[in-house]
Structure formats: C-alpha cells, structure tokens
C-alpha cells in the first residue's frame, strides 16, 4: 500500500518546504510531489532534471466574436461575474468560465476556447523522482492541478514499486489545500510559535479533522517563544494530534536555501538537522503511517 | 486610495507591514480616515496584531440551486449547462452538489419549468470591529469551503467607507490574490531576500503587471539571505520602499502579537514615510 505524507502549515513561511526538502534526504523508496502549485519552491532546493512536461488544461473562457455580435445585451444580463464590458469584451481575469453567456447568446457569437492554465512535470532529483507543476499567473483551477500532481505521483509510485509519497503542501485552508489533504495517510503540520502560527495551525488542523486525516505537529523555530510552543503542543494534545518534535531557530536554513541544499546536506551536525531526523523517525513510526507500530515495515 | 499588501510567498511579513502601517498612520494627521480589510480569508491574522475587541459577524452566503422534484420533468438542460458538475442526473432525478456550485445561475436560466429555486451555501463570515476609531473587516472562510473569491468580494464592499483602505492580501498568485489586488491603486509587495522569496516575488510582479497596478517593494529580514532580490528589483525598476532588518526582538514581539512600532517607536516615522511615498507615486500616476 502506498502511504502519503503531506507537509502543511496553514500559515505561510513557517518552513514547510525547507522541512519537506530535508525529509526528501531521509525518505527511502519514495516519490516527491510539490502540491504548492501556486508558488512552488521545492524545485529550488532539489534542482530537478525535467524528464517530461505536460500542459495542464483548465476550463473554457468566453470570447465574443465582435463581428457577429449584435449588442443585444443578453450576455451582460446573464453574467453574474461582471466580466463583460459595455462594449462587449470579456475580461479574461473576471470570467469564471461558467459558459452561461455562450449558451444564452441568441447569435451564437461567443466562443469558449479551453485554456492552458499551467504545466506539470515528471522529474528526477538526487533523492528520487518528483512530480511538480506551475500554475499560470492569475489562473483558477489550482485545486484541480494539485489533485493531478498527487495522482501522477501515486501512479508513478505504483509503476516503480515505491511505497511512499512525500508531498509539500500549499499554505491556507482553501481550494488547493483541500485538494492536497483528502486521502493522505498523515499531515505533518509545521507550526511557528507565534500568535498567528497557532491561529492558522488550528484552522488547518480542523480541516484535517474534517477530512479524517491524522495530523502530526512539529514546531519550527520553537525557541523564539517557548511559552507559545508549549501552548501549541498543549492544544495539539487536546485535539489528539501527534507531537513529533521541535526544531530550533537556525539561520542555517536560509544559508542552505541560498546554497540550494537542504539542512541535512548543508549542516548535518547542527541541532536543527538532528531535530529534523528525529521528527522524520517519529513520523515514520507513527500510528498514522503504520498501524502495527513497526518502524521499518516495508 | 486602496493599498493592497501582497507577497507571492507566505510568511514574508504582509501582515506585519499592514499592522505597522495602520498603527503608524493613526493620529498621524497624514490621512483623514482609513480602514483595514483582511482579505487573507483562509488564514486571517491582522486582528491578532490590532485587537479589534468586540466584533460583529456577518454571515456570507452564495447562491446554490435547489430542485423542486414535483416540477422537474427530467429534461436535463440544467445538467448540460453546468460546467462545474454541480448538477448530475441519476435515475430520473437531478442531484445537486452544492460544494461544486460557482453560483453562475445558468441552471435557473435554462429551466423552462420553474423547477429550480434559490438555496444558499455558507462561505464564511466577515468580522467587523474597531481599532482606535478605525474600522477593520476580516473575512474568515468556513473550514472545508474551497471558494474564497466571493468572500473576498464581500470584505471589499467596505472599501468605499474610508478615504484610505489597507488590504492584507493572501499569499500566492491565483484567483484569491487577484480578487484582493484588482482595482487597488497600489500594490505593496513584501518579500524576504531568499531564493524562495525571490522566486515568488517574480510571480507576484507578473500578476501585478497583468492587472496594470503600480507597485513597490518592502524587503523584510533584509540582512538574512543574499542580494538577488535587490538586484532583481533594480532590473525590474521596482522601487524598494523600505528594508526591515532581521531583529530577534521584532521576531519575538511578532510571536506575542506585538508590532515593530510597539518595541521600536522610531519605526513609526519610517512607516509614515512609506505611506507618504506611496501616496506620491499614486498621485503621480493619476
């Protein structure tokens, strides 16, 4: 059975990607997925060599053929998104892609071409294969692209006999996060010990509970506010979330990023790297990932 | 004037800048009145740093169809027009999947039998309160809800209520960010000088170009990382309006919900200067 660990945080910038990249060093026989398709960063540390790239097609966008338009006003009236101007041009950013104007136009003067709204890639990294993607600027359908990335990751794992997916998730609790969380084996929730870190982690943990996915909490930069770290851990325990460890604040994370390495490669003997290794062990031994409690289960 | 504070990458300091700007503008005599909108509706944080006290909640809903099975003849026209698969036909019955509905109203338009009525789906709430006489409105999406743009639009209905509106935008570059930046007079981009910060800043700059809005940059934790963000800003002609150094006391204050101007009052003047410069740029453009 293929298991999947999704690294999320709620709040952005807590260290999700730096920690996911470090996990990549420790993972055995897995596939990496970057599900933050909106602002993907994992490739900056893992420098993947792209083997295949594929277009990602979204829905249609309305386009009025002005030579056939008789300015009857029907499209203006039916568009709920105010995406059509008084002189009958569709604002592609405002258009929701519902196609109602297309169907209601008495002149059949509105086209509905399918848009390419991104790309996805099958790549090779020094830690194993990786599926990643880029969504076009100002595009919709990020949730669909996230689902596609995870499915491709799963298919690849199956085809190559790999048993683990390690997915770097997006921030927030909305559309792409919902698409990243459903069906995962466990969430590693990376939290920073701040009022906003706690607030945002509570919301994303609720989302995990909503979808029935177990959550494991790791506090990053814990020493910035130990009292807050304790508060976060107490809340996590109360909610039956697992605690997998604390990582100290270490500017080596930034230096490693500049060097395009992860913390395990850049500063293997640092306290931060040791903490990440301990966390990975606890994640792999957690009930969420193997209900028999055998850490080395293959 | 509407200033939207955005970043591409999360956690670079959008909310920090928004909160410090607000705290520096109050009682400054620089603006007559201003309000604050938290459009990061998935993870609203601004209230944690500005403490609005008692808030009133307004529930925001969106249209979803409800089928009157008595009137439905099973013609399937509603199912055919729905591009979002929110309606399906199973055993002579139309089923509605409210979570997939984009509220376009197409199904109601095509139904000839008046069999589709109005129902609603709760997207979230807008929490409204006051901070030292200035209104703050924060969107908060319901956990499990995927569509944030209608809620962001609901928060932004308050932007006409003051001479200046500060918008705290969500991270990323897709539809929620666009919803929080469109129609703004200025986009204040906040980044950190790291490879991740640079990469996502470049995406955010592309989004700002698509919308054709003037923009400027704040570099946070300016002394951690490398100089590539500065070099990129120069090559893009993106004005660096402020650089905030990494200071452990700022980070610790932030962790407690305090702002830079609380621990270092001399920053108040710098944030006032930031606002004055933005106002000049906006005026020059108009």
Which residue from B9, B38, B34 is spatially nearest to B23, judged by alpha carbons? B34
> Do B171 and A12 count as a contact with CB atoms less than 8 A apart?
yes
pLDDT of residue A139: 84
Tens of pLDDT, residues B82-120: 999 999 999 889 999 999 999 999 999 999 999 999 999
Beta bridge partners of A252: none
Percent of chain A with pLDDT over 90: 92
How far apart CA A48 and CA A26 sit, in angstroms, is 17
Q: CA of A142: which chain B residue's CA is closest? A: B174
DSSP state of A170: P
Contact B102 A207 (CB under 8 A): no
Is the per-residue pLDDT at A298 higher than 50?
no
Interface test with A, best of B13, B17, B19, B42 (most A CBs within 10 A): B42
Separation in Å, CA of B103 to nearest CA in chain A = 8
**8 Å CB contact of B172 and A200:** no
Q: Where residue A59 falls among pLDDT bands split at 50, 70, 90? A: confident
CB contact under 8 A, B196 and A11: no
**Angle at B111 (CA atoms; ends B110, B117), nearest 5 degrees:** 120
Tokens (6 digits) for B203? 């995406």
Q: Does residue A297 carry a pLDDT above 80?
A: no
The mean-pLDDT minimum among A64-68, A113-117, A176-180, A196-200 falls in A113-117
Across A184-206, average pLDDT: 97
B86-103: buried (b, 16+ CB within 10 Å) or exposed (e) per residue?
bbeeeeeebebeeeebbb
CA torsion A280-A282-A286-A292 (nearest 10°) is 100
| Nearest-CB residue to A138 (from B102, B103, B210) | B210
Of A41, A140, A196, the CB nearest to B175: A140
Distance, in Å, from the CA atom of B42 to the CA atom of B207, rounded to the nearest integer, reads 20
> Which pLDDT tens digit goes with each residue over A120-151?
999 999 999 999 999 998 888 789 999 999 99
Helix pair angle (A16-26, A271-285), 10° resolution: 70
Give chain B positions within 8 Å (CB) of A202.
none
Query: What are residue B34's DSSP bridge partners?
Result: B164
A42: confidence class by pLDDT, cuts 50, 70, 90: very high
Pairing state of beta strands B93-96 and B87-90?
antiparallel
CB pairs < 8 Å spanning A and B: 181
pLDDT band, very low/low/confident/very high, at A292 (cuts 50, 70, 90): low
Q: What is the pTM of this model?
A: 0.95
Which residues of chain B, if any, have pLDDT below 70?
none
pLDDT tens digits for range A260-270: 999 999 999 99
Report CB contact under 8 Å: B199, A41. yes
**Cβ count near A118 (within 10 Å):** 24
Q: Which tokens is B201 given?
A: 């800043």
Report strand pairing: A110-111 vs A215-220: unpaired
Say what percent of chain B tops pLDDT 90: 96
pLDDT at B286: 83
Which residues in chain B have their CB less than 8 angstroms from residue A41's CB?
9, 195-196, 199-200
- The arrangement of strands across the sheet holding A164-168 comes to A49-60, A114-125, A128-135, A30-34, A164-168, A3-8, A186-191, A215-220, A242-247
Q: State in Å, rounded, how far the first CA of chain A is from the last one.
A: 9
Distance CA B9, CA B170 (A): 9
Has residue A295 got a pLDDT over 70?
no
Angle at the Cα of B223 from the Cα atoms of B222 and B224, rounded to 5 degrees: 95
d(CA A203, CA B285): 40
Here the tokens at position B179 are 């919803």
- Specify the DSSP element, H or E, that contains A274: helix A271-285
Cβ-proximal residues to A231 (8 Å cutoff; 6+ apart), any chain: A193, A198
Confidence of residue A252 (pLDDT cuts 50, 70, 90): very high
Please name which of A173, A225, A262 lies closest in space to residue B250, comparing C-alpha atoms. A225
Q: What is the Cα–Cα distance from B174 to B158, expressed in whole angstroms? A: 23
**Chain B environment of A192 (Cβ under 8 Å):** 11, 255
The sign of the dihedral angle between the CA atoms of A273, A278, A280, A283 is: negative
> Is residue A291 over pLDDT 70?
no
Cα gap A127→A29, rounded to integer Å:
9
From the list B148, B194, B255, the residue facing A195 with the nearest CB is B255
pLDDT of residue A294: 54
Q: CB under 8 Å to A20, separation ≥6 — which residues? A: A7, A32, A42, A166, A167, A168
Nearest residue to B35 via CA among B26, B44, B43: B26
């Amino acid at each position: 059975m293929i298991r999947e660990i999704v690294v999320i945080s709620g709040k952005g910038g807590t260290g999700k990607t730096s920690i996911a990249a470090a996990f990549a060093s420790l993972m055995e026989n897995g596939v990496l997925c970057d599900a933050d398709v909106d602002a993907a960063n994992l490739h900056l540390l893992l420098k993947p060599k792209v083997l295949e790239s594929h277009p990602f097609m979204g829905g249609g966008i309305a386009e009025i053929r002005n030579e056939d338009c008789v300015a009857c006003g029907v499209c203006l009236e039916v568009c709920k998104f105010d995406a059509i101007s008084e002189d009958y041009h569709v604002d592609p950013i405002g258009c929701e892609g519902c196609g109602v104007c297309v169907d209601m136009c008495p002149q059949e003067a509105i086209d509905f071409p399918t848009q390419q709204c991104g790309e996805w890639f099958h790549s090779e990294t020094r830690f194993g294969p990786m599926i990643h993607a880029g969504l076009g600027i100002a595009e919709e359908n990020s949730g669909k692209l996230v689902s596609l990335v995870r499915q491709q990751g799963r298919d690849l794992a199956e085809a190559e006999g790999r048993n683990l997916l390690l997915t770097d998730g997006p921030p927030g609790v909305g559309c792409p996060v919902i698409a990243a969380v459903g069906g995962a084996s466990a969430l590693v929730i990376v939290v920073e010990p701040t009022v906003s870190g706690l607030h945002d982690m509570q919301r994303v943990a609720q989302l995990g509970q909503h979808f029935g996915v177990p959550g494991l909490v790791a506090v990053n930069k814990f020493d910035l506010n130990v009292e807050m770290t304790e508060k976060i851990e107490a809340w996590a325990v109360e909610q039956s979330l697992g605690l997998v460890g604390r990582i100290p604040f270490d500017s080596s994370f930034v230096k490693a990023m500049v060097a395009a390495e992860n913390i395990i490669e850049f500063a293997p003997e640092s306290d931060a790297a040791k903490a990440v290794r301990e966390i990975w062990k606890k994640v792999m031994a957690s009930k969420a990932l193997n209900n028999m409690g055998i850490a080395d289960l293959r | 004037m509407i200033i939207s504070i955005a970043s591409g990458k999360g956690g670079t300091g959008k909310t920090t800048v928004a909160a410090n700007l607000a705290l520096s503008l109050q009682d400054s005599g620089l603006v007559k009145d201003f309000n604050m909108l938290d459009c990061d509706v998935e993870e609203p944080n601004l209230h944690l740093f500005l403490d609005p006290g008692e808030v009133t909640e307004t529930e925001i809903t969106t249209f979803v169809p409800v089928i009157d099975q008595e009137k439905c003849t099973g013609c399937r026209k509603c199912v055919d027009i729905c591009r979002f698969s929110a309606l399906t036909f199973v055993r002579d019955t139309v089923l509605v999947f409210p979570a997939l509905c984009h509220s376009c109203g197409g199904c109601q338009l095509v139904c000839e039998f008046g069999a589709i009525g109005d129902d609603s789906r709760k997207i979230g709430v807008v929490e409204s309160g006051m901070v030292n006489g200035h209104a703050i409105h924060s969107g908060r999406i319901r956990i499990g809800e995927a569509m944030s743009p209608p809620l962001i639009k609901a928060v932004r209905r308050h932007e006409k209520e003051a001479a200046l509106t500060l918008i705290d935008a969500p991270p990323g570059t897709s539809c929620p960010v666009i919803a929080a930046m469109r129609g703004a007079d200025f986009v204040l981009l906040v980044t950190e000088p790291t490879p991740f910060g640079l990469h996502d800043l470049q995406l955010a700059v592309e989004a700002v170009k698509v919308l054709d809005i003037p923009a400027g940059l704040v570099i946070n934790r300016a002394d951690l990382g490398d100089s590539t963000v500065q070099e990129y800003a120069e090559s893009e002609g993106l004005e660096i309006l402020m650089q905030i150094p990494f200071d452990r006391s700022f980070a610790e204050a932030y962790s407690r919900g305090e702002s830079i101007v609380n621990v270092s009052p001399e920053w108040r003047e710098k944030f006032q200067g930031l606002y004055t410069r933005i106002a000049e740029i906006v005026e020059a453009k108009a």
